[in-house]
């Protein structure tokens, strides 16, 4: 799903500012999508030019003006068409698995260090998700929460697999020194 479709999805629920979209994106998508904050504003500009959204400027006293974006009927149709379209098979990409494939060229201590560092980063991501879980539980609809749980389960599985790998590498290193 591209950034424009994600933005349209958020706007299906209500009109939002760019800041609101960034916040919703960070809570909802940042843990399983490579999309960045920097892509939101250029996408909004393109979407407005295509007639998918409109922008209304709200004047505020003593504060910067708010640019509020609203989905159009054309945008609603484009979003629903995208949501209903068949999914292409996903081919997951993992920089870690690509490295693991070539671990034979590293020393046992280097292997263990890389696995431990990656496990630590996965555990950190999991902790970040768990920290926002109460907020997500209150704000998310049933399917959004299912998506959240799916992502959390993926991180739990990854942490479990990395722990097993780390244990196997430590055992292998211990046997090599006997």
| pTM confidence score | 0.75
pLDDT tens per residue, range 71-84:
999 999 999 999 99
Q: What is the predicted pLDDT for the residue at 34? A: 60
pLDDT (mean) for 65-74: 97
pLDDT higher than threshold 70 for residue 9: yes
pLDDT tens per residue, range 95-135:
999 999 999 999 999 999 999 999 999 999 999 889 989 98
Q: What is the predicted pLDDT for the residue at 32? A: 64
Q: What is the predicted pLDDT for the residue at 78? A: 97
pLDDT higher than threshold 70 for residue 172: yes
Across the strands, what pairs with 67?
57
pLDDT tens per residue, range 24-61:
887 676 666 666 668 899 999 999 999 999 999 999 99
Q: What is the predicted pLDDT for the residue at 33? A: 67
SS (H, E, C) the chain: CCHHHHHHHHHHHCCEEHHHHHHHHHHHCCCCCCCCHHHHHHHHHHHHHCCCEEEEEECCCCCCCEEEEEECHHHHHHHHHHHHCCCCCCCCCCHHHHHHHCHHHCCHHHHHHHHHHHHHHHHHHHHHHHHHHHHHHHHCCHHHHHHHHHHHHHHHHHHHHHHHHHHHHHHHHHHHHC
Q: What is the predicted pLDDT for the residue at 127? A: 93
pLDDT higher than threshold 80 for residue 148: yes
Structure tokens at 98: 């690509």
């Amino acid at each position: 799903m591209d950034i424009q479709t994600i933005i349209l999805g958020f706007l299906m629920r209500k009109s939002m500012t760019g800041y609101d979209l960034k916040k919703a994106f960070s809570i909802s998508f940042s843990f399983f999508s490579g999309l960045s904050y920097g892509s939101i504003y250029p996408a909004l500009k393109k979407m407005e030019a295509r007639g998918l959204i409109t922008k209304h400027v709200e004047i505020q006293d003593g504060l910067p003006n708010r640019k509020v974006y609203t989905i159009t009927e054309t945008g609603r149709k484009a979003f629903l068409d995208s949501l209903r379209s068949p999914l292409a098979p996903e081919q997951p990409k993992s920089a870690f698995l690509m490295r693991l494939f070539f671990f034979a060229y590293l020393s046992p201590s280097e292997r263990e260090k890389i696995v431990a560092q990656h496990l630590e980063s996965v555990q950190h991501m999991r902790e970040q998700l768990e920290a926002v879980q109460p907020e997500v539980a209150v704000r998310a609809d049933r399917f959004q929460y299912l998506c959240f749980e799916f992502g959390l389960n993926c991180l739990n599985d990854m942490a479990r697999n990395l722990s097993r790998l780390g244990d196997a590498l430590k055992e292998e290193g211990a046997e090599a020194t006997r």
